[in-house]
Amino acid sequence: YLANLKDRNEGLYYKLLVENFTEMAPIIYTPTVGWACANYAATYNKPRGMYFTALDRGEMDLMVYNWHTEEVDAIVVTDGSRILGLGDLGIGGLNISIGKLDLYVGAAGFHPGRVLPCVIDVGTNNRDLLDDPDYLGLRQRRLRGAEYVELIDEFVHAVMQRWPRAILQFEDFSTENANKLLERYRYHHNMFNDDIQGTAATALAGIYGALKVQQKTADDLRDLTFVVCGAGSAGMG
């Protein structure tokens, strides 16, 4: 219903989101967005965001000019390989990019016409998706190694050469690739990995806030004991 409202009347959709953010946030993002990703094919009715695939190699520098706005402030991209605690959801990961940018519009004041959700479809290792006749993504095992990195290189080059002032956010990439890609791009592009840096920054901010409430200083951090608890990969240690 909300996706259809957004298509019909974007202004009303964002007014609803901004004025009722506390109630709306868990609907447009976690936990509901997990269901939306897992049921991407069943709920699909029109294209949203930008879709890049392993078959687009050599074309991405031109493809980015298909996007309808000249100014983009924030880009969120995923390859769908580690969606929340649900694992490999392939092309369905696009809904993560859409939902995250809606949060930025509703809570951080980004202009909805200047954000870009993306998915890079490099295949999926999810057998249920590969066997599903309704699956909309590439029906192949995921690219790995140098071939995978070269494809991500091409995407990063394409979006950053068209929108060099945009912030590029990597979202829900598998652990084996997330750190590697962060180190590859962080010193050359305006980018970050939300699952690594965003989660860490939010957790640290919460700890500093708790210390302030207790009238302690940041130096007291060294004396604290932490328990890491969670079902997703963030709770692995």
29 classed as catalytic: yes
Backbone angles phi, psi at 121, to 5 degrees: -90, 105
CA separation, residue 106 to residues 7, 53, 178, 186 (Å): 17, 29, 27, 27
Taking each helix axis from N to C end, the angle separating 10-19 and 94-108, rounded to the nearest 10 degrees, works out to 60
The C-alpha atoms of residue 77 and residue 191 are separated, in whole angstroms, by: 11
Structure tokens at 197: 């840096």
Q: Where are the alpha helices (DSSP H) in the chain?
A: 2-8, 10-19, 21-28, 32-38, 40-43, 60-63, 94-108, 127-130, 145-162, 175-185, 199-213
* Helices and strands: H and E segment counts in the chain: 11, 5
Contact 186, 178 (CB under 8 A): no
Out of 6, 13, 29, 40, the active site residue is 29
Active-site entry in 100, 104, 135, 148: 100
Tell me the catalytic residues. Answer: 29, 100
